[in-house]
Every structure is written in structure tokens, then in C-alpha cells.
């Protein structure tokens, strides 16, 4: 019996919300796979980490300049039974695995420790929690201190009823597709947390007959004379983060100060979502809808005031606006921001994210709809930083060659302003695909199976690849259940699903599929704004004069 627990404890699996967790008696158990999923989940917003696959190799190479040693699973037994050199390779592989995991642990465990400190829950529970559960821990921790009764968990019936009545989201001003120059982005510092603080939004402050109140754009009233637990905690978190950021500025190499700042920010930014989460104890549709209504009001006011000041607002989304400076100077932009902030409640502040040299906005996915796409753009700042949002390069259901080509096209347009150089990048990729020289690793597409392969009724490439692997004895049924399947579309078969094989089993690839269904969809949203069409990029037609 292999027992990891201490002092006669046991090891068992327990339910934690909607997931299972391993509990080891007398020990704190942290599953780094779940930690990475959590960090990647909040990574886009918090600039921590954003991955499309959670393998040790992917994570390690994302945080390190080194490459992780790879050995195919089916080759391990051969190395074990092999010569001295084979055993040395296997030993090096295992040692490298251990080092990589320790590197991942040392990088991300400080954030989880600080989230544990912030919310008052044990590390083992925090590591399997959602952001909503972290907020709930914190509210329960402070409920007694603020003389609050902890609400019961909602019943399944209550949850179903809440889900029937969704909340109106944020305001979005869609852009006109195209390439723009000389821009600035302004955004609100913690818009939703600052709205909750400024307007005392909390289930306990809802009122109909109070004498002094804040009235949201939805008509909901919040008592000014009874401080809500949500606004009190958020103010505490905000003030703590200000102090931590000051200390971190003086000691930028202190990883725990940096992690504490991130933990406080993650927790604060999760409050709005928790108020509108159907399974939360402190659920309040009135509160959540009031927060988004205030948000829409403030962003609309920002757009209006910016345009009155002579700026052209080309895009606005949730808590930020993108403006064209035109003949305005950076100094004039900052002066507008300062004047606008004077009109805001004390807890709210509009900040300058950065000035940008050039930006690309693309059209909507459905070409029948006019206007630009939401949350889909790329920008180059005056300091040389490239900001990319919404493109396929952050999705795992696109091959590496599609993501890399898209990134190269975007970077070329942003850095050099050259449409022809960007088009030539695509032509070169098309030629390499046709020549059959692209490595299979650049063509793998990753999709997760959600159940056992015998439980599917429909057909899909990932399912077909998994079934072929099981039939060939490369994988077992248990190994592919809920697994992320990395497959290549080969040249053998009729439909796309028929052609799909695991990356490790594939011998060739279907060049036409990767050109027409991967690379072209990834770049055409960008290059069509520069008057290119697919035939030109595939070298099938004459380029139009720009």
C-alpha cells in the first residue's frame, strides 16, 4: 500500500464545487495541472499566462528559454530494455521532467499562496477553486466581522430560475475595419470594483424607502447610510493593493510582492462576476445588472467627452476606449484625461494604457454584417510593445502554422506598415505547404474530448483520430477519455474526419486543407482590408494594384 498521508490519515477524492479534489490526510495537496488551468484562465486579463495546451512541455517552454526533453510514451519501455545509452537518455528525460515541474511550481505557487492569504482558505482548496469560489471564501471570512448572516447555498431550482434571466452586458462601440495610426487607449482602473465601491452596491444595501440612496441606471436603489460588505471588502482590497504596489516598486525582484498584487487584483475583479453567478450565496441580479448599467453609462460618458474634446473614438469596449489623436498631441490627451477624472467619483479613475503607432481592426466573422469585430485587434505601442487580442494565435483549435503565419502578418503590418511584405509571408507559407516540407508538429490541431469515445453520436476529426489510435493499440480507451487530442489532417481518406490521425501516427498531410481551412482563414480577415484576395495569396491570380 502506497499511502502519502501522515499519522494514520487516508487519501481520498472529495467533491469541491463542480470538480473533484484529492485530499491527503495531514498534507497540503496541490495539483499543478489545475493551478495552471486556473492561472491560464485569468491569464489574458491579468497578463500572467495564456496557453492553448496544459502539458508540462508547453507550460515549461512558455516560462523558460530552454526546451524540454521529449520522449514518446511508446518508446519508454524500449529505452528501459535498451543499452546503457538508452537508459541514460531515459534518466535524463526523467530528471528534466522533475526540473521542469519544479520550475513551474516555483513560478506559479506564489500566486496561489497569496490567494490563500487573501481569501483565508487553505492552499489545497484554493488550488482547485474558481474565482467565484475565492470571492465566496472571502465574503464568508468577513461576514461575522461585519455582522452579516451568511446566505444559504441556492437550490437547483433557484439556480435554474436565475439562469433563465441573464444580465445585460457591457457597452461596445464597434470599430470600422482598417489600419489606423497615431492612437491612444484610455481605460478605467478596475471599473467594476470601483463602481461597487462608489455606489455602495451590495445585496444588503438594496432599498425602496431609504432617504438617501444611489440610484443606478436600472432604477435600483442602494442605501447610502448602510455600508455593504462587498463595497467594504473591495475598498480594503484596493487600498491593500496600492500599498503592495508601492512596496513592489521599491523591490521589483520580490516575487511574493508581485504575486500578492496579482492575487488582490484577481480577487477584486471577480466580485462583479460572483454577484451575477447563479450558484453564488450572495447572488443578486439587481446588483449585477446595476454594475453593468453603471459601466455602460460611464463608458458612454467617456466617449462623449472625448469626442467633445476633439478626439475621434474608433472603439470602445467595457472599460476602455481607443482614440485617434489626429493633430492632437500626447500632452493634450493627458490633459483631457486629467479633466475627465475630476468629474468622476473618488474611487474611479481613467488611466492612459499607452500611446500606439499603428493598429489593425478586422471585420466581423459573418461578412454579411457590417462593421468591425469586437475584441479583435492588434496594436504597436510607441515603446515597441505589440498588443494582440482575439486572434487565432491564442487558440489551440488552430494549427501552429496558422497561428504563426497570422502573427507574422500582424507584426509585419504593425512594425513596417508594409502590406506587400505581409502578403509575401503568406505566399511563402503556401509554397512550403505545397512542397510537403512543413513539419507535422507545426500542423497539429488540438481539441479536447468531453466524454468517452463510445458515447459520441456525431463524427469529428479529434474523435476519428482517437478511435484510430485505440484500434492501433497506440492509446487505450481510458487514455483518450477527456484528453486533449492533437491530430493532423493527412492526405488519406474522404472527409476531413476520415483523414485525421494522431500527430504521432501521421506520415503526411493534406496541403490543400491547411492552405484553405487553416492559413487562409487566419490571415484573410487582415489582408482583405488591404485589398488582397485569396487567389492572389495562393499565387492563382494577379495582384490588384493598391
- For 493-518, the pLDDT digits (tens) are 999 999 999 999 999 999 999 999 99
Alpha-carbon gap, residue 323 to 329, rounded angstroms: 12
Answer whether 143's CB lies under 8 Å from 149's CB. yes
Q: Which of 440, 448, 425 is nearest to 519 (CA)?
A: 425
Answer whether 244's CB lies under 8 Å from 257's CB. yes
488 φ/ψ angles, rounded to the nearest 5 degrees = -120, 140
Alpha-carbon gap, residue 379 to 361, rounded angstroms: 9
Alpha-carbon gap, residue 38 to 19, rounded angstroms: 13
Q: Which of 455, 429, 389, 308 is nearest to 44 (CA)?
A: 389
How distant, in Å, are the alpha carbons of 206, 224, 346, 349, 442 from that of 342? 28, 22, 9, 9, 52
Answer whether 347's CB lies under 8 Å from 231's CB. no
Please give the pLDDT value at position 47.
54
Answer whether 68's CB lies under 8 Å from 59's CB. no
Which residues of the chain fall short of a pLDDT of 50? 44, 542-546
Alpha-carbon gap, residue 388 to 349, rounded angstroms: 24
Report all structural domains of the chain as residue ranges with CATH numbers, in order of start.
11-129 (3.30.420.10), 172-225+282-389 (3.90.1600.10), 392-439+513-537 (1.10.132.60), 444-508 (3.40.1820.20)
Residue 144: which residues within 8 A CB-CB, separation 6 or more?
none
Cell numbers standing for residue 521:
482563414
End-to-end CA distance of the chain: 73
Answer whether 250's CB lies under 8 Å from 159's CB. no
Handedness of CA 106, 107, 108, 112 (dihedral sign): positive
Answer whether 350's CB lies under 8 Å from 188's CB. yes
Rama region for 525: left / alpha / beta (φ>0; ψ in -120 to 50; rest): alpha
Please give the pLDDT value at position 393.
57
Cell 433557484 sits on residue: 158
Write the burial class of residue 404 (CB in 10 Å: 0-12 exposed, 13-18 middle, 19+ buried): middle
455 φ/ψ angles, rounded to the nearest 5 degrees = -100, 0
Specify the pTM.
0.82
Amino acid at each position: 500500500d502506497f499511502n502519502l498521508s501522515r499519522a494514520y490519515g487516508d487519501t481520498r477524492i472529495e467533491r469541491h464545487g463542480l470538480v473533484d479534489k484529492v485530499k491527503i490526510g495531514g498534507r497540503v495537496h496541490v495539483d499543478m495541472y489545475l493551478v495552471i488551468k486556473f492561472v491560464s484562465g485569468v491569464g489574458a486579463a491579468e497578463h500572467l499566462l495564456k496557453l492553448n495546451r496544459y502539458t508540462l512541455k508547453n507550460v515549461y517552454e512558455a516560462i523558460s528559454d530552454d526546451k524540454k526533453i521529449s520522449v514518446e510514451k511508446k518508446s519508454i519501455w524500449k529505452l528501459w530494455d535498451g543499452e546503457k545509452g538508452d537508459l541514460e537518455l531515459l534518466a535524463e528525460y526523467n530528471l528534466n521532467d522533475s526540473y521542469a515541474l519544479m520550475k513551474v511550481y516555483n513560478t506559479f505557487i506564489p500566486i496561489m499562496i497569496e490567494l490563500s492569504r487573501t481569501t483565508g482558505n487553505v492552499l489545497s482548496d484554493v488550488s482547485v477553486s474558481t474565482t467565484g469560489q475565492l470571492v465566496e471564501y472571502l465574503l464568508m471570512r468577513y461576514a461575522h466581522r461585519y455582522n452579516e448572516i451568511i446566505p444559504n447555498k441556492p437550490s437547483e431550482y433557484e439556480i435554474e430560475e436565475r439562469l433563465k434571466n441573464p444580465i445585460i452586458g457591457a457597452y461596445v462601440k464597434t470599430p470600422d475595419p482598417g489600419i489606423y495610426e497615431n492612437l491612444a487607449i484610455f481605460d478605467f482602473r478596475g471599473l467594476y470594483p470601483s463602481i461597487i465601491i462608489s455606489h455602495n452596491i451590495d445585496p444588503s444595501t438594496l432599498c425602496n424607502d431609504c432617504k438617501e440612496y444611489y440610484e443606478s441606471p436600472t432604477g435600483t436603489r442602494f442605501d447610502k447610510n448602510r455600508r455593504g460588505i462587498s463595497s467594504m471588502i473591495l475598498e480594503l482590497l484596493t487600498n491593500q493593493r496600492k500599498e503592495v504596489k508601492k512596496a513592489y516598486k521599491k523591490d521589483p525582484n520580490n516575487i511574493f510582492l508581485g504575486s500578492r498584487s496579482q492575487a488582490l487584483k484577481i480577487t477584486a475583479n471577480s466580485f462583479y462576476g460572483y454577484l451575477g453567478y447563479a450558484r453564488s450565496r450572495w447572488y443578486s441580479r439587481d446588483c449585477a445588472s446595476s454594475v453593468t448599467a453603471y459601466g455602460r453609462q460611464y463608458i458612454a460618458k467617456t466617449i462623449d467627452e472625448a469626442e467633445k474634446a476633439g478626439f475621434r473614438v474608433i472603439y470602445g469596449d467595457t472599460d476602455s476606449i481607443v482614440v485617434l489623436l489626429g493633430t492632437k498631441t500626447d500632452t493634450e490627451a493627458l490633459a483631457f484625461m486629467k479633466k475627465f477624472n475630476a468629474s468622476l467619483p473618488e474611487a474611479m479613475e481613467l488611466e492612459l494604457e499607452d500611446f500606439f503607432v499603428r493598429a489593425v481592426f478586422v471585420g466581423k466573422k459573418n461578412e454579411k454584417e457590417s462593421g468591425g469585430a469586437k475584441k479583435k485587434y492588434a496594436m504597436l505601442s510607441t515603446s515597441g510593445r505589440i498588443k494582440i487580442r482575439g486572434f487565432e494565435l491564442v487558440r489551440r483549435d488552430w494549427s501552429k502554422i496558422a497561428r504563426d503565419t497570422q502573427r507574422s502578418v500582424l507584426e509585419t503590418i504593425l512594425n513596417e506598415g508594409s502590406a506587400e511584405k505581409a502578403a509575401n509571408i503568406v505566399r511563402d507559407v503556401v509554397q512550403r505547404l505545397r512542397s510537403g516540407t512543413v513539419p507535422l508538429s507545426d500542423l497539429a490541431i488540438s481539441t479536447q474530448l468531453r466524454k468517452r469515445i463510445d458515447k459520441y453520436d456525431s463524427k469529428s476529426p479529434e474523435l476519428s483520430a482517437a478511435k484510430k489510435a485505440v484500434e492501433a493499440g497506440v492509446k487505450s480507451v481510458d487514455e483518450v477519455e477527456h484528453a486533449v487530442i492533437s491530430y493532423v489532417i493527412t492526405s488519406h481518406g474522404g472527409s476531413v474526419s476520415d483523414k485525421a490521425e494522431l500527430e504521432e501516427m501521421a506520415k503526411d498531410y493534406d496541403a490543400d486543407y491547411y492552405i484553405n481551412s487553416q492559413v487562409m482563414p487566419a490571415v484573410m480577415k487582415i489582408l482583405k482590408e488591404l485589398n488582397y484576395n485569396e487567389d492572389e495569396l495562393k499565387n492563382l491570380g494577379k495582384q490588384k494594384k493598391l
